[in-house]
Amino acid sequence: MKNQPKIKAVIFDMDGVLADNIPFHFLAWQKTLKDEYGIHLTKKFFFKYLNARRGYELIRVVIGKVVSPKKGRSIIQKKDEHYRKIYTNKKPVDGLVGFLKYLKKKKIKIALATSAHKGNADFILDGFKIKKYFDVVVTAEKIKKSKPDPEIFLLAANKLKTKPANCLVVEDAPLGVRSGKKAGMRVAGMLTQHTKKDLAQADLYISNYNQKKLYTFIDAGASYRPGPYK
């Protein structure tokens, strides 16, 4: 594929991408919002409107108003504590470590760009013993806007000193896919929680990191579909 931007960096989302752990986040939010506000959070609402949002934004969408920073931090802390208690069978998505080693061998830069807070990022990176592979880690504390705003991916690319057109994002959520495309990047849709239809703007689809088409996509440079995306 001539005259196509080469992939020089891969930017991973975390939840649902490094770990198939989204159901545990849902259960933790469901319990926390029930305890705090008496609200019953449904799976349908969570996966359609909330997955990939920062905690503060998620709370605002659910309760219909902005909470104070102090209250927001308290709610998020309770949710994260419950999540870490129930997510005990920690293991990476199949083929992840091998894929990270492949990227390092190819001298392709690696970043994590997650709407989760640093504590949860460390929980996964340290738990999987993969922190050493990441050149850059961007968490919720570093951004002002939630996905689908492209801020988090553009910040990661900037820290990697790589142009957006040379980045591949790996995402599992519709909001995350939109965010990556709005950033001017190519996106691999991870089918851990959503269907191809849900992630319709992605450039390719994978269910794990053992699939040859992912390696072929990177080696070839792949097609580039710039925005605009809403």
pLDDT tens by residue, 185-230: 999 999 998 999 999 999 999 999 999 999 999 988 654 444 443 3
The string of pLDDT tens digits covering residues 59-91 is: 989 998 888 989 988 999 999 899 989 998 788
Among residues 13, 80, 172, 203, which one is catalytic?
13
**Does residue 20 have an active-site annotation?**
no
CATH architecture of the domain formed by 9-20+91-220: 3-Layer(aba) Sandwich (3.40)
Structural domain boundaries of the chain?
Answer: 9-20+91-220, 22-86
CATH architecture of the domain formed by 22-86: Orthogonal Bundle (1.10)
**Does residue 15 have an active-site annotation?**
yes
pTM, to two decimals: 0.85
H helices within the chain, ranges in order?
Answer: 22-37, 43-45, 55-63, 69-86, 96-105, 118-128, 151-160, 174-182, 212-220
Among residues 15, 20, 80, 172, which one is catalytic?
15
